[in-house]
Each structure stands twice: as structure tokens, then as C-alpha cells.
Amino acid sequence: MSDADIAVVGLAVMGRNLAFNMAEKGFRVALYNRSVERTDEAMALAGPLAERLIPCRSPEELVAAVKKPRAILLMVQAGAAVDESIARLQPLLDKGDALIDAGNANFHDTVRREAALDKAGLAFLGVGVSGGEEGARHGPSIMVGGKPEVYGRVDKIFTAIAAKFEATPCCALLGTDGAGHFVKTIHNGIEYADMQMIGEVYGLLRRGLGLTPVEIGDVFERWSKGPLSSYLVDITATVLKTVDPKTGKPLVDVIVDSAGQKGTGRWSAIEALALGAPASSITAAVEARGVSAERALRKTLSERFPGAAQPLTLAGNREAAIELLEQALLAGKILAYTEGFAIMSAASREYGWKLPLAEVARIWRAGCIIRSTLLDRIASAYDQTPDIESLVLAPGLTPLFEGAAGALPEVVAEAFRHGPVGRDLALAGAAPAALDRRPDPGPARLLRRPRLRPDRRRGPAPRPLEPERRLTRRTASGFPAATGSRMRPAQPGREHRAENRYRLILDGGRGPAREGRTCRTKSTATPGARTSAAPPAPRCSPPPSTAPAGASS
């Protein structure tokens, strides 16, 4: 009998719980899984909800069980499994039927799949679902991408099963094709950064201040009642206060200190780079996970380059240190959201989605992993100024950020001095954005390739500085001269040599990125080798405001 309102394909933890959620809200749901055991398991776990579930043993049975035009939700492993599931179902479907991919797809795949199915007369939605198993069962945050008329066919089901924030469903159509999956991707990127920063602050509280897990749990619990109020801070408090029943040790001490980085979290960093949207805390969090996964190498390096942890400078004033860490975490959290929303804003322009960013913030307020009270302020910011350049400029966020931002560089400096937390980078990634004293003009002038050859359009070549003079001054101070005023122009005949030197120095292999990488690697692996984070010996002498800068403008 074809009376199911919707079908769910893929009955692992997410699909099964979404199906139970739908059944609980009164919908009839047809179920199918590639391995039949999972279907049986789902039916066994369904309890009284089983009467609204229709277990199917084949795709043919499934298609026959759903009302036309059909809506079939795929909740299988992201990637090839989605294409394979579509390939199996497509020949069985009628024109106008809709396939809905609710897994963690790469949005580029979603765009491709929608276009291909559209050509075949089938409808498609790409839907991001956040909240894990618990969310799927009791109310996730749902981010939809696709055509409004297709969404219109399932919006009743989606809004019924979505989490509610003060009675408003956390579910919305955010744009066409890949918009929903893109927003879910960035959600997970923010989650990476937020979790990483929480981990770093935990590390400093534990090793820098010598607090026990339970004491740190109390600190997080206190913080969760203030502006840091969020699911992740809340759950951290709970985890830290939990004892492992098997060993009797704090649970945190029996968790393996290694995390993977794949799929959505990594794609956030990749898409940010592709869009030219700075996302240093998200990227750093992805990298930190990569470092954490190199367990054997970490062990080898820490044995080869041992270094003792140093207590935080502020350890003598525990309460002041805790307050500083709270502020740093708050600033970092604001910046992680700021990065995430800036990436979405750039993508919205690039792909023509017109992402409703206030709505994105609103549907993240319940059900999803990064739910937090900050999202109310973020929603208001985008309501007031939809094209705001940076969230930290929003009237609702500026005072909070200003109050906290100063703590971030202080904590980062402490973390690097402290040693063992040196490998953790997300707070450090966020720190530059917290410095309101960003130099203007900045050092980017030296990143532009100076043109010292004559340029007919621009007039005569700038004169290189006299080489020996530069060398002397650099040797004496260890740093480039502060201004160009005391430098003599080169003598005729030396210009060619000097030009080569500039080229060599400025185009050479050891660019600033490599220096940064070296510092990170060393601080990661060799707590004792912290001095490597000191400014690298200057390799080119003129400061930004002198000749080469002028030459590049």
C-alpha cells in the first residue's frame, strides 16, 4: 500500500533516529537499508512507533510504499554511497519525485547531483542536519538547499521534526542547490574551532594552573551561565566532572588525545581559502586535529626534545588567570563565528545564494552542536545590517568583543611560553584578529613583489639602498632599520647587484609562511625549543615604509 508520507534510506544512527522522530510526529515512514539487519534492528528499537514505520527489503518495495509524488530521504554515508543510492533508486522513480540528501555532503557534489537529477525530471534537496544522534531523534537544526517548490513538499515534515527555539522551528530553506550543505559545512568548521579553543583553555587550566578535572568542570559550569553560555561549554563541564566507571579515573584522562579531521570541518578551511575569506582559527583547528592524530610522531618528538611545562605567569593569582582565560575563550568564540559568517557571506556572493544570515543564526539556536546565546546577538546583527563587513563591528557584539579581545593575545603568549599547549593553535589563529592595534600600513607591503627595474609607465626605477650600509645596520641592531631616512642611495654601477639581491631575498624560498610553519612545528614537538618562536632573523633589510615598498606601489 502506497501510504507512507516519506521514505528514509540508510538506517544507521542518524537515519534511524530521524525516522523515529518523523513517526513520533505522526508521519508514516517507509524504511530501507542496504543491509537488511539494520532495518530489522530499527524495527526492534522502534517500540510503539513501529506502527507508523514500513520496513522494506528492497528499493523496489520502498518506492512502492511511498505516496506520489514521492519524497525519499537519503541518510547514508557521505560521498560515493549517495551516488550509488541515487543510481539504484533513479530508474524506479517517476518524474517529479524528490530525492533528499540529508547527510554531510560536499556542497559541490550537491550542486552536481541537483543539476543531473533536474535534467532527468527529478527533484533534489541538499539538507544539512546538525545535532548528532540526540538531535536527529528529538529535534535537529535543519539547513535546506534547493528549489522552494520542492522544499514546499516536505516543509511540514521538516518543521515538525526540527528543534524548537522558543516555539520557532530551527529549520529553513537557505538558498538553492548547495546552500544548505555549505551552511552545514561552515557550521562544522565553527564547531571545530570552538572545540579546539575549549581544549586549549582546558589544557592551560590543567597544566598551567594545576586545576583538577573536577575543578575545571566547575569553572566551565560557571562560565556556561555567562556570555559563554553554549552547548559545547556545557557539555565540557559535564565531561570533566564525569568519572570513568571502569578505571575510577576522570573520564577525560581515559579519552585518547587524538582527533580526526575530515569532511565538513576540513572543507570549511578549503572553501575559506578558495573564497579568500580569512579563517585562521578554523584552519588552525583543522591543523591541530591533524597534529593530534600523529600520535607516534608526537611521542617520538617529545622524547627527543623534552621540555618542562612552565606554570603560567599568572598562576599566583588563580582567579585573575581564570578570568583572563574566560575572556580569551569568549573573544576566540566570537571570532570563530565571525570567520564562519564571513565565509558564508563570501560564498553567498560567489554562488548567488543570497544566504539569509540572520536566519542561519536563528536556526542554530537550538538542536545543533554550536548552539549558544551569542547567536541571538548575531541574528540581530544581520537583521540590522544584512551586509555587515565583520560581526565584531555589530553594535550587539562590539562591547562584548572589546571587553574580551585584549585577553586573547595575552593568553596565546602564555600558552606558547608554557610549552605543552604550544601545539594548540586555534586561539593563536584567532589572536591576530583580536588586536585592534593592527599596524597600518601593515607588513603586507613586503608581500608585493617589488619592481626595481625601470618601468616606462611608472618612470625611473627606484634606487636600491646601498648594500654595505644595510648590512652594517642590520648586523648592529639585528633588525631592519626603522626608517629609510638614514639610508644612502646606491652608487651607480651597484644598482644591478642590489637589484639581484632584492630579488633573491624577496622571492626566495624561505617566505613568511615557511617561518610560521617552522615555529608551529617546533613548538608542537619540542616544548623545550620555545625560542624558535622568536622573530626570525631578518633576511631583507628595508622596512615596509622604505624603498621597496614605494617600488611596489
The correct pick among 31, 65, 70, 104 for binding ligand NAP (CB under 6 A) is 104
Helix (H) or strand (E) holding 65, with range, is helix 59-65
Work out whether 39 is an interface residue with ligand NAP (CB under 6 A): no
Query: Residue with the closest Cβ to ligand NAP?
Result: 103
Please give the radius of gyration of the chain, using alpha carbons only, rounded to the nearest integer.
28
Stretch that binds ligand NAP, among 10-18, 172-180, 342-350, 351-359 (CB under 6 A): 10-18
Work out whether 85 is an interface residue with ligand NAP (CB under 6 A): yes
| Sequential DSSP letters for 532-543 | GGSPPPPSS-S-
Work out whether 12 is an interface residue with ligand NAP (CB under 6 A): yes
Q: Name the residues annotated as catalytic.
A: 184, 191
Listed residue (545, 247, 531, 289) closest to 429, CA to CA: 289
Residue number with CB closer to ligand NAP (81 or 251)? 81
The three cell numbers locating residue 401: 568583543
Helix (H) or strand (E) holding 7, with range, is strand 6-9
Residue number with CB closer to ligand NAP (65 or 425)? 65
Stretch that binds ligand NAP, among 11-19, 205-213, 477-485, 509-517 (CB under 6 A): 11-19
The correct pick among 51, 60, 61, 84 for binding ligand NAP (CB under 6 A) is 84
The correct pick among 4, 5, 8, 10 for binding ligand NAP (CB under 6 A) is 10
Listed residue (480, 220, 191) closest to 337, CA to CA: 191
Work out whether 81 is an interface residue with ligand NAP (CB under 6 A): yes
The correct pick among 6, 14, 394, 426 for binding ligand NAP (CB under 6 A) is 14
Helix/strand/coil for 130: strand
Cβ atoms < 10 Å from Cβ of 531: 8
Listed residue (394, 391, 358) closest to 376, CA to CA: 358
Work out whether 235 is an interface residue with ligand NAP (CB under 6 A): no
The three cell numbers locating residue 532: 624558535
d(CA 322, CA 216): 10
Work out whether 369 is an interface residue with ligand NAP (CB under 6 A): no
| Site size toward ligand NAP, by CB under 6 A | 22
Contact 17, 45 (CB under 8 A): no
Helix/strand/coil for 230: strand
Work out whether 76 is an interface residue with ligand NAP (CB under 6 A): yes
Q: How far is the CB of 303 from ligand NAP (least distance, A)?
A: 36
Q: Are strands 71-74 and 53-55 parallel, antiparallel or unpaired?
A: unpaired
The three cell numbers locating residue 512: 613568511
Crossing angle of the two packed helices 426-434 and 280-293, in degrees rounded to 10: 160
Rule CB under 6 A: which of 375-414 touch ligand NAP? none
Stretch that binds ligand NAP, among 77-85, 243-251, 333-341, 413-421 (CB under 6 A): 77-85
Residue number with CB closer to ligand NAP (340 or 464)? 340
Helix (H) or strand (E) holding 505, with range, is helix 495-507
Residue number with CB closer to ligand NAP (43 or 78)? 78
Work out whether 15 is an interface residue with ligand NAP (CB under 6 A): yes
Burial of 132 (C-beta count, 10 Å sphere; 0-12/13-18/19+): middle
Work out whether 285 is an interface residue with ligand NAP (CB under 6 A): no
Work out whether 36 is an interface residue with ligand NAP (CB under 6 A): no
The three cell numbers locating residue 265: 570541518
Distance of CA 275 to the CA centre of its chain: 14
Listed residue (23, 370, 354) closest to 173, CA to CA: 354
Stretch that binds ligand NAP, among 80-88, 448-456, 470-478, 522-530 (CB under 6 A): 80-88
Q: Given the C-alpha cell 568542570, which residue does it identify?
A: 217
Burial of 298 (C-beta count, 10 Å sphere; 0-12/13-18/19+): middle
d(CA 185, CA 163): 19
The correct pick among 4, 6, 11, 72 for binding ligand NAP (CB under 6 A) is 11
Rule CB under 6 A: which of 114-133 touch ligand NAP? 129, 132-133
Rule CB under 6 A: which of 161-200 touch ligand NAP? none
The three cell numbers locating residue 518: 617552522
Work out whether 543 is an interface residue with ligand NAP (CB under 6 A): no
* DSSP code of residue 540: S
Residue number with CB closer to ligand NAP (365 or 470)? 365
Q: How far is the CB of 24 from ligand NAP (least distance, A)?
A: 18
Q: How far is the CB of 368 from ligand NAP (least distance, A)?
A: 9
The correct pick among 64, 67, 77, 529 for binding ligand NAP (CB under 6 A) is 77
Stretch that binds ligand NAP, among 74-82, 293-301, 425-433, 543-551 (CB under 6 A): 74-82
Helix (H) or strand (E) holding 154, with range, is helix 148-161
Residue number with CB closer to ligand NAP (75 or 284)? 75
Q: Are strands 29-32 and 53-55 parallel, antiparallel or unpaired?
A: parallel
Q: How far is the CB of 264 from ligand NAP (least distance, A)?
A: 8
Residue number with CB closer to ligand NAP (35 or 373)? 35
Work out whether 138 is an interface residue with ligand NAP (CB under 6 A): no
Binding residues for ligand NAP, rule: CB under 6 A, are: 10-15, 33-35, 38, 75-78, 81, 84-85, 103-104, 129, 132-133
